[in-house]
């Protein structure tokens, strides 16, 4: 709470702190909604949930797959393992604004032409049309920034993250996470939880554990997730947690979609 409120920002941005902080504040937002007038009715009406990257753990906790405490332990360990992987590989991430996914892939291919394997970049977050996050070695991200104008990108924004998340550069974080996941009790979800890895819900606890291990090194299929929800007739939605990024992505995918933000 102290770091969330008082900073410093650099400490809050570190993966070790930010992951537990986002998890706790997101589930605190659920309790804020529950305490509000008709909040419990809204919570009871929710029939599907999902979360972007770390938010998948929040969604799984909401769906009763594991306890708040077990989720927090997993998130803490995930943050530590990913920080260690980031320290070992020196990667970065950046949002590419104004291009479709095919052009961002072409931009990554151009950036990777003269780079060693460990410096190359890939699309790590498929957020929505016109907003894709690339991730990889620092030289690769710098090459994307240098070449972006020639591909007619509107802008490239470097992200305040510790490393090249959702790429092969996070591979060293997987064994520790797998060990912790195998030792944690998972239940069948009470409602479907859409996975970041394949944009599909899964009910088998062993499959959910395997997917959470894959998630660290796999691209986040958020664009496909939103299209799946909208295609199945999404009517009302709620963003529970800090910021309004998810609401923005949903609105950019479908301007008529309704979403309410709840944060603490």
Classify strands 49-50 and 155-158 as parallel, antiparallel or unpaired: unpaired
Q: pLDDT at residue 74 above 90? A: yes
Segment holding 44, helix H or strand E = helix 39-45
CB of 118 within 8 A of CB of 214?
no
**pLDDT of amino acid 61:** 98
- Angle at 239 (CA atoms; ends 58, 205), nearest 5 degrees: 30
| DSSP summary character for residue 113 | T
Is the predicted pLDDT of residue 9 greater than 90, yes or no?
no
pLDDT for residue 15 is more than 90: no
Q: What average pLDDT does the segment 79-92 reach?
A: 91
- Please name every residue paired with 201 in a beta bridge, in sequence order, or none if there are none: 194
Cα separation, 5 vs 1, whole angstroms: 6
The pLDDT value given to residue 1: 87
C-alpha 262/C-alpha 28 separation (Å) is 10
The pLDDT, as a whole number, for residue 11 is 87
pLDDT at position 160 is 81
Instruction: Please tell me the distance from the alpha carbon of residue 193 to that of residue 59, in angstroms, as a whole number.
Output: 7
pLDDT value, residue 263 = 92
Give pLDDT, residue 24.
96
Range in 6-10, 47-51, 195-199 with the lowest mean pLDDT: 6-10
Matching residue, tokens 């291919």? 109
Q: Is the pLDDT of residue 113 over 90?
A: yes
The answer, yes or no, to whether residue 176 has pLDDT greater than 90, is yes
**Alpha-carbon torsion (15, 16, 18, 20), positive or negative:** positive
Residues annotated as catalytic are 53, 166
Q: What pLDDT, on the 0 to 100 scale, is given for residue 60?
A: 98
What pLDDT does 90 receive?
84
Cβ neighbours, 10 Å, residue 82? 27
Partners of 194 in beta bridges: 50, 201
pLDDT digits (tens, 9 = 90+) for 191-227: 999 999 999 999 999 999 999 999 999 999 999 999 9
Mean pLDDT, the chain, integer = 94
Average pLDDT over residues 117-139: 95
Longest dimension (CA), the chain: 58
pLDDT for position 219? 97
């Amino acid at each position: 709470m102290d770091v969330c409120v008082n900073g410093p920002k650099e400490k809050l941005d570190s993966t070790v702190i930010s992951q537990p902080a986002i998890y706790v504040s997101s589930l605190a937002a659920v309790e804020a909604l529950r305490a509000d007038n008709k909040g419990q009715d809204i919570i009871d009406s929710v029939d599907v949930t999902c979360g972007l990257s770390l938010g998948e753990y929040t969604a799984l906790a909401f769906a009763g797959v594991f306890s708040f405490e077990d989720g927090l332990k997993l998130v803490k360990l995930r943050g530590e393992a990913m920080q260690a992987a980031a320290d070992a590989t020196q990667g970065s991430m950046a949002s590419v604004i104004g291009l479709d996914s095919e052009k961002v892939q072409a931009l990554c291919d151009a950036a990777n032409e003269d780079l060693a394997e460990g410096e190359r970049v890939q699309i790590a977050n498929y957020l929505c049309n016109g907003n894709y996050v690339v991730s990889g070695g620092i030289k690769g991200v710098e090459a994307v920034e240098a070449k972006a104008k020639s591909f007619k990108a509107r802008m490239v924004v470097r992200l305040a993250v510790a490393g090249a998340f959702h790429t092969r550069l996070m591979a060293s974080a997987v064994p520790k996470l797998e060990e912790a996941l195998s030792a944690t009790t998972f239940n069948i979800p009470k409602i479907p939880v859409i996975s970041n890895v394949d944009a599909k819900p899964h009910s088998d606890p062993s499959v959910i554990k395997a997917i959470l291990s894959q998630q660290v090194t796999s691209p986040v299929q958020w664009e496909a997730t939103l299209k799946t929800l909208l295609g199945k007739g999404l009517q009302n939605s709620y963003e529970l947690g800090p910021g309004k990024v998810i609401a923005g992505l949903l609105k950019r995918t479908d301007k008529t979609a309704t979403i309410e933000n709840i944060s603490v």
